[in-house]
Amino acid sequence: MTTAYDVPADVLIGKLSAYIKENIKEVTPPEWAAHVKTGTHVERVPQIPDFWYVRTASLLRKLYMSGEAVGVQRLRKEYGGRKRVGNSPAHHAKAGGSIIRASLQQLEKAGLVDKVDKSGRVVSKKGRSLLDAMSTQIKKELDREKPELKAY
């Protein structure tokens, strides 16, 4: 059985974000999402038109890959980046929590994520089966396009 570990992350996130945009009505960008930065370390708002769906797909994949309950603070740390502070050396800054929290709440409403008591969130059975089905489809497409990679 093919899982999310067996396919490239960028291909999986791209297909998953398109699927979420078309089929899952609970996941919609809030009206403020077009005007906010993703954290203090970035200079501008996201330039990708479907940023909300890409971030939601990425969050779902991260929860799947971790295998344990993950909270918003840990995800803020993972989505953070280098913050430039003038002449001083750059430091790591966490990402904003509102986008992550709102996306997780929408995924929870859609039934793809379950909340664990005070520990964070994990992927539900429905979310796991969605990611596995998407991974299987991607793997078949990759095998058709590049048969020489089938040995790996």
What is the total residue count of the chain? 152
Mean pLDDT per 10-residue section of the chain, whose length is 152 residues: 90 96 94 92 92 96 94 95 93 95 96 93 96 94 82 63
Question: Can you tell me the distance from the alpha carbon of 135 to that of 11, in angstroms, rounded to the nearest whole number?
Answer: 9
Residue 112, class by beta-carbon neighbours within 10 Å (0-12 exposed, 13-18 middle, 19+ buried)? buried
116 C-beta neighbours (distance < 10 Å), count: 12
CA distances (Å), origin 12, targets 54, 55, 81, 104, 109 = 10, 12, 23, 18, 22
Is the Cβ–Cβ distance between 6 and 152 less than 8 Å? no
3-state secondary structure of 143: helix
The per-residue pLDDT for 110 is 95
pTM (two decimals): 0.91
**Structural domains of the chain ordered from first start:** 4-145 (1.10.10.10)
